[in-house]
Amino acid sequence: MRYSDGSVVHTRIGHKDKVWDLALLVPLSGHWIDGLTASEVDPATADLKSLVAIHPGRPLIVAAHFRGTVDARAKDGADDLSNALDVELQSSPPSVGAPLLDPDGGVVGLFVHACRATLPPTAAPGATAPPPAANAPCTPIVVAAPVSSIRHFLAHTPASAVAPSPWLGIVGATDATGTAHGVRVMAVAPGSPAEKGGLKSNDDRAQADLIVAVDGTPVDTPDKLADVIAKHSIGEKVKLFVLGADNKFREVIVALRPAP
């Protein structure tokens, strides 16, 4: 998944709704933890806007006009969509997956695939009208799923959708006693990425490895180390800058995995 700043992280689908064409993508890292908030404004009374994908990671903001709710069905025509929003964008078709925003950046809806039932031809005067078809033709359209439907979708997210955290596999302690400050490796879990990368612990603190930085970011406390590790994905390789017992620096590359 590509964020608006151009960064790319691994994700998985944690939940999906075929009727509303919604999917919850769960990032396998903590690169970004803040998102957009739901809007409580009436779309008929607000100046709306949306995002159109022009280049990867570089969306264009365009004005949007709310035309009202629309009698829409799921994209396969099988289910009714309640209170779907009919929205027209300025000089561009809506981008499926993009948010419909109010003036303060709150989310009014999300654009999704849908369809509109095609009316059968009108019977000639005096002729018997044909019976309604079991699977009436449906013309593909794009509508905005309202906040109420998005909330209902999220409320039914399974507990298994929560992404496991990337794991290094050490017990660390703050060490600021020498010229280099970092996280002293007090213990290494068997079979962990830290063990496979060759990190060493020791009952004598001075003989244990000292992690000074992760991918160039200084770490001087276990919490800081955990925060930096959490911004990476499971399976991603990170480069640790380590001061060893020989008082020499070395680079250690480890592949993160979920905790057992």
Helix (H, G, I), strand (E, B) or coil at 83: strand
DSSP states of 99-166: EEE-TTS-EEEEEEEEEEEPPPPPPPTTSPPPPPPTT--EEEEEEEEEHHHHHHHHHT--GGGSPPPE
pLDDT surpassing 80 at residue 255: yes
Segment 68-72 mean pLDDT: 93
CATH architecture of 11-121+135-161: Beta Barrel (2.40)
Distance in angstroms (rounded) separating the CA atoms of residues 260 and 167 = 9
How confident is the model over 18-53, as pLDDT tens digits?
A: 999 999 988 776 666 678 899 999 999 999 999 987
pLDDT of 16 reads 94
- Which of 3-7, 78-82, 85-89, 143-147 is predicted least confidently? 3-7
pLDDT over 90 at 56, yes or no: no
Q: Which one is the CATH code of 166-258: 2.60.40.3670, 3.30.870.10, 2.30.42.10, 3.30.2320.30? A: 2.30.42.10
Q: Range with the lowest mean pLDDT among 53-67, 123-137, 213-227?
A: 123-137
Q: Contact at 8 Å (CB) between 193 and 169?
A: yes
Query: Average pLDDT, stretch 130-151?
Result: 81
pLDDT at position 57 over 70: no
* Domains 11-121+135-161 and 166-258 fall in the same CATH topology: no
pLDDT of 183 over the 80 cut = yes
The sign of the dihedral angle between the CA atoms of 133, 134, 140, 145 is positive
Task: Please say if the pLDDT value at position 130 is more than 60.
Answer: no
The amino acid present at 250, given as its one-letter code, is: R
Question: What pLDDT score was predicted for residue 126?
Answer: 65
Instruction: Provide the pLDDT for residue 161.
Output: 84
**pLDDT score at 235:** 87
Q: Inform me whether the pLDDT recorded for 108 exceeds 60.
A: yes
pLDDT at res. 92 = 86
Mean of the pLDDT values across residues 45-64? 85
- Show me where the domains of the chain are located: 11-121+135-161, 166-258
Rounded CA-CA distance 43/45 in Å is 5
| pLDDT of amino acid 91 | 83
| pLDDT above 80: residue 64 | yes
Using pLDDT thresholds of 50, 70 and 90, give the confidence band for residue 121.
low
Which pLDDT band holds residue 134 (cuts at 50, 70, 90)?
very low
Surface-to-core class of residue 141, CB atoms within 10 Å of its CB (0-12 exposed, 13-18 middle, 19+ buried): middle
- Phi, psi torsion values for 206, nearest 5 degrees: -65, -20
Task: Give φ, ψ of 205 to 5 degrees.
Answer: -50, -35
Confidence label for 124 from pLDDT (cuts 50, 70 and 90)? low
Per-residue model confidence as pLDDT tens digits over 143-156: 999 999 999 999 99
User: To the nearest whole percent, how much of the chain has pLDDT over 90?
Assistant: 63
Q: Residue 129: what pLDDT?
A: 56
Q: Is 90 exceeded by the pLDDT of residue 258?
A: no
Does pLDDT of 132 surpass 60?
A: no
